[in-house]
Amino acid sequence: MLLRNINDAMIAARSSALAVSLVSLACLFAVLSCAITSAQAVPKKMWKLEMSHGMKGNVTAIFCPDAVNFTTERGGRYVSQAPKWDIYAFRTDDKIICNVPRDVFIREMNFHQERFVKYRKIGTGSICLYPVTVITDGQNTIHIAAFPGIPRQVCEFICAWLKQPVLDQIALKSRPYLRPNHKVNAMVIDVDNRAANIVETKSVKEIPYDKSVFLVPRGYRTVARLEDTFYSKSRKKDLESIVDDLGIGVDLFKK
Cα 83 from chain centroid (whole Å): 14
Indicate the DSSP class of residue 219: S
Q: Which of 226, 218, 255, 223 is nearest to 87 (CA)?
A: 226
Q: What is the pTM of this model?
A: 0.71
Task: With cut-offs at 50, 70 and 90, classify the pLDDT of residue 8.
Answer: low
Q: Which of 193, 139, 138, 142 is nearest to 166 (CA)?
A: 142
Q: Which of 28, 63, 70 is nearest to 161 (CA)?
A: 70
Cβ-based neighbour number of residue 69 at 10 Å = 21
Q: Can you give the pLDDT at residue 176? A: 74
Q: How far apart (Å, rounded) are the C-alpha atoms in residues 92 and 98?
A: 12
Q: Can you give the pLDDT at residue 42? A: 52
Contact between 169 and 157 under an 8 Å Cβ cutoff? The reply is: no
Instruction: Provide mean pLDDT across the span 121-146.
Output: 93
Instruction: Provide mean pLDDT across the span 11-23.
Output: 49
Instruction: Provide mean pLDDT across the span 218-232.
Output: 89
User: Which CA distances in Å does 87 have to 34, 77, 102?
Assistant: 39, 10, 6
Question: With left for phi above 0 and alpha for psi between -120 and 50, is residue 95 left, alpha or beta?
Answer: left
CB burial of residue 41 (10 Å; 0-12, 13-18, 19+): exposed
- Could you check whether the bond before residue 65 is cis, i.e. omega within 30 degrees of 0? no
Q: Hey, what long-range contacts does 56-65 have (CB within 8 A, 24 or more apart)?
A: 56/161, 56/162, 59/161, 59/162, 61/158, 61/161, 61/170, 62/207, 62/213, 63/147, 63/150, 63/154, 63/158, 64/150, 64/209, 65/149, 65/150, 65/151, 65/154
Indicate if the pLDDT at residue 126 is higher than 90.
yes
Task: With cut-offs at 50, 70 and 90, classify the pLDDT of residue 15.
Answer: low
Domain ranges in the chain are 1-42, 45-246
Q: Which residue has the higher pLDDT, 4 or 203?
A: 203
Indicate if the pLDDT at residue 56 is higher than 90.
no
162-214 residue pLDDT tens: 888 878 899 999 987 655 554 544 444 444 444 567 899 999 999 999 999 99
Q: Which residue has the higher pLDDT, 133 or 198?
A: 133
Strand partners, 144: 133, 171
Q: Which fold has domain 45-246?
A: outer membrane lipoprotein receptor (LolB), chain A (2.50.20)
